Structure 1
């Protein structure tokens, strides 16, 4: 049974005959009659009594009538639902992020996106890089901000934009390094460190930096929340490497690393060269076209095209 056949059936009912129905449907009468005959053959019953001068519904036709109306209404509703999503009157998009994201003010960008597309529901997931990567591959996320542990993304993922974040050493106020304002990584061997949880983009970047400089860090505490890390540094338990905006927002001394200059790459990634979800496409376009962070935003710069 085809929607087209039901539409032809309803046209005969509403127009009172095959000739008028064909004219209303903009097809020849023979084609409309064939369509209705095929429907009757499929249902195993005549739908119209054709013996008189006027076409009349049979009992089978009267039984089909409310069902045909409901099915056609459902088809129209389905088209409207798809059109609404395509036009972003409604929809859903899921995005993941590393906890220490600073190159983009994600809450502000999502607020702006919501203002433009208020009917689109946005789901946000904060997790480790590995967890976000698997969620992208499994289709649980449309987009994610990652800090890859290496020069490229895992197979099957595409980079839509990249940023570079500067890392600094934060210390408690009054720490000897705070007055200096800068240091070498090799001079930090006697410092106690607070580390972020394993598997995060920040931990990976710091681990690579320490390995490159052959620094054996003495880790006194490791945490899973960046705010706790900042509070522990403020309390004097140790020092830590963080993106510069985190230290500046916390009001802690930010000691610049003179050599090598530490940093990490952040990537806005997805599963394919272009998302299939219309809401994800709209969010991607918004995020990659967003202005660089400036006044009132966390530090960063316009993303490089992926």
Structure 2
């Protein structure tokens, strides 16, 4: 069994097509098909169900795929560790972030990182805070930036607190509240809201604040990005609450201080197990040395 064969299997599984998989792997299709067939003979089982219309994993293929990915990740990490031992950082850096990250200028940090480590492949993945924690635990991403209510604690990963911020109200420029300098949660409770999906950490910040004040609100719109929140608010469909450090990036809306606003904490997190050389180098760009987890939030 060879690593290249595993790469071919993963490529076919992800594209559901032998031709596209061969293009991705930069080989002719006949060579890719021959190697997969050879692997199947060695395993004594078919990994793919092939028809004239589609290609899909068999039960054996579905069982083989996670282990193949782990082997490829381990091989890539081994190569990166050897390179780091002789002073070169390479491999991959997968960074996760919430849509409203504001404590760190991510593009600027990546620019500095790329200048110093041009041989590292970088991928960015946006998601909800709780999803990003799970992905760091699973090793799918190395570093992630979260936003959590002040009552939450990060568990199962290493974490460093980056900043604390208060939420502000965001309304359309012609909204009746647009001329106000400050508004209360009680006044906002009369408005129609757009917010992140229920049971996400980003949503919990506002939900907990209204609940603690004995108030309820109408969240008529649920979206997954701050960009869409701003678009809906700008059309006068609803109001929102977003971190004050993030809202300067928005256009076409007006922000108002909230007298009893909820707060949030931004964290950067990484694996409890070990850092890849690329992750260590990236955290160093952020002035976070190895072993610098925040004691109160590392689970």
Look up the match of 1:106. 106
For structure 1, the 5+ residue unaligned runs are 1-78, 291-302
Structure 2 distance, partners of 1:138, 1:305, is 21
Look up the match of 1:254. 255
Q: Root-mean-square deviation (CA), in Å?
A: 2.5
Task: Report deviation, 1:289.
Answer: 5.4
Q: Secondary structure at the match of 1:177?
A: coil
Structure 2 distance, partners of 1:286, 1:177, is 41
Q: Secondary structure at the match of 1:111?
A: helix
Q: How does 1:1-306 map to 2 (within 5 A)?
A: 82-86=81-85, 87-148=87-148, 150-154=151-155, 156-251=156-251, 252-258=253-259, 260-272=260-272, 275-288=274-287
Residues 189-212 of structure 1 deviation map (CA, whole Å, 9 limit, x = unaligned): 321111122344321211111112
8 Å contact kept, 1:130–1:199: no
Change beyond 3 A, Cα 1:131–1:139: same
Q: Secondary structure at the match of 2:215?
A: coil
Who wins on radius of gyration, i.e. which is larger?
A: 1
Structure 2 distance, partners of 1:162, 1:80, is 32
Task: Report deviation, 1:135.
Answer: 0.9
For structure 2, the 5+ residue unaligned runs are 1-77
Change beyond 3 A, Cα 1:213–1:90: same
Q: Bigger CA drift: 227-236 or 141-150? A: 141-150
8 Å contact kept, 2:130–2:201: no
TM (norm. structure 2) is: 0.65
Task: Report deviation, 1:129.
Answer: 1.8
Look up the match of 1:28. none
Aligned residue-pair number = 213
Change beyond 3 A, Cα 1:143–1:240: same
Q: Secondary structure at the match of 2:152?
A: coil
